[in-house]
Amino acid sequence: MKSERSRSLRWGLIKRLIILQAFILVLFFVLLVGWMWIINPELEDANEEAVRVVAQQVTKDDDGQLQVAETQEVIELKQRYPELWFTVRDDKGILFQYGKIPTAAFKESFPWTIDRARVEAGNGAHATVENRETSVGKLQIVAATEQGFDNDGLNVWINMRVEVAKGPHGEIQWVRVLPALAFVIVIGVFPILALTGIATLLVTPRAVGRSLSGLVETATQAQAIDFDTRSARLERSKVPTEIIPLVDAFNHALSKLDEGYKRHNRFLADAAHELRTPIAIARTRADLLPEAEVSHQLRDDIDRLSRVAHQLLEMQAIGAVELRAEKKDLNIVVENIAADLAPIAMDAGYDFDFEPSAEEAVFVIQTSTIEMAVVNLIRNAIDHAGGKGAIVVRVGAAGTIDVCDEGPGIPLAERDRVFEPFRRINASSSGAGLGLNLVKKAAEIHGGRVLFLDTGQGFCVRLEIGSIPPSVVVADKGWRGRR
């Protein structure tokens, strides 16, 4: 089954904007053409009206001179426009003029290749020039309904008339007209659409990218949230308004998960606390049993159960219980732990040694957390080194604590997974698979890490102490990780 390909918001907006622009441009041209068609394709101004009336009434006398008949239409035109003037010229140069012509430029002959033009003198006086077929032949008529002022300039506007195909009775042949009209719209729309499309391609990605920059930052915040920072929440102020419901839903989901994790932790803590008392009672009663192999195995099982309960308590408390960070010499801290666990190691068949650093190794640490980590490292060495050889605990001045043994160590294939809770390499081990997970958490709290070292003669686990974050330097609540 193919997975659905995610869609780009940026390119989706670009495509929709270009389509919208094309639709608006086409609609505009269609409405413009329709509007012009409805109001009157033959709409004329006053000067064009004067040219039309003169062309309809022009005649020639017996001598071949041009005349304009004084019909009712001509009389009304002269009355309506008192400043009316016009000139009529044929192809032989015969001229007829009426009224006061404002400038000599209007008296000149214009090119006969121009069917219609608007001529304007510099200060606003203007006239219409047309070459028309009349009852006395082709004539050039220049007419205006207003006087102007003398000037030195002359502007010419050329008008274009579009003729559409018509049948023998004057009906418009739409089958031939519509394709041509569509072509005109296309050549009018396409250049504008090309320009707006290019502008959209250039502007939209940047505009959308800037609008979504807050969303990218919020996504980065979401990626940074993990098991140890589950109480963090995404900021709402940097995302677009439309995305805020999604951010709120995500924060709400984080809140529910965090609440569920806290309930789970409280359950583990309560269960571990409840187990400690019956375990202690069972241990006391086991000590009263006569010495026998069964009673010895029973005491070992009770010790293992006690250790698991204790590690569950540590797992719940580390990083969650507020502890005071203080300056301590790692030599002294680790030496005290080594002294307490040396008898257990020697009873298990090991030689045990502690090697302090040549210089002071003073660091700001949560003492009980480091004690808990070192205890788990030494107990792991006792459990997994095979009951022979030496266990050496070594402190470095750079803030390192090494626990080395002569056992087989951790296989390379398993080293990335041994930090998972309840991960056990040897199913017959007496441990619960929580020790290295607790050690890693202690290292992270102190800005350090856990390393595995192959010495050639054995195996070492190194706990590196870094700089403890100021956020965990708090008042001591009295919890102690070492028992």
Q: What is the 3-state secondary structure (H, E, C) of the chain?
A: CCCCCCCCHHHHHHHHHHHHHHHHHHHHHHHHHHHHHHHCCCCCCHHHHHHHHHHHHEEECCCCCEEECCCHHHHHHHHHCCCCEEEEEECCCCEEEECCCCCHHHHCCCCCCCCEEEEEECCCCEEEEEEEEECCEEEEEEEECCCCCCCCCEEEEECCCCCCCECCCCCECHHHHHHHHHHHHHHHHHHHHHHHHHHHHHHHHHHHHHHCHHHHHHHHHHHHCCHHHCCCCCCCCCCCHHHHHHHHHHHHHHHHHHHHHHHHHHHHHHHHHHHHHHHHHHHHHHHCCCCCHHHHHHHHHHHHHHHHHHHHHHHHHCCCCCCCCEEEEHHHHHHHHHHHHHHHHHHCCCEEEEECCCCCCEEEECHHHHHHHHHHHHHHHHHHCCCCCEEEEEEECCCEEEEEECCCCCCHHHCCCCCCCCCCCCCCCCCCCCHHHHHHHHHHHCCCEEEEEECCCCEEEEEECCCCCHHHCCCCCCCCCCC
Per cent of the chain over pLDDT 90 is: 8
**Quick one: fold of 224-317?**
Helix Hairpins (1.10.287)
pLDDT category at 421 given cuts 50, 70, 90 is low
Query: pLDDT at position 166, please?
Result: 62
- pLDDT tens string 83-124: 898 989 888 887 888 988 877 777 777 888 878 888 877 656
- Does pTM top 0.75 for this prediction? no
Query: Which of 37-41, 350-354, 382-386, 415-419 comes out lowest in average pLDDT?
Result: 37-41
Fold of 322-483: Heat Shock Protein 90 (3.30.565)
The structural domains of the chain, with segments of one domain joined by +, span: 9-40+172-210, 46-158, 224-317, 322-483
Q: pLDDT tens digits for 39-71?
A: 544 445 788 888 889 899 898 888 888 888 889
Q: How confident is the model at residue 249 (pLDDT cuts 50, 70, 90)?
A: confident
- Mean pLDDT across the chain: 75
| Residue range 145-180, pLDDT digits in tens | 887 644 445 445 444 455 666 666 656 666 776 777
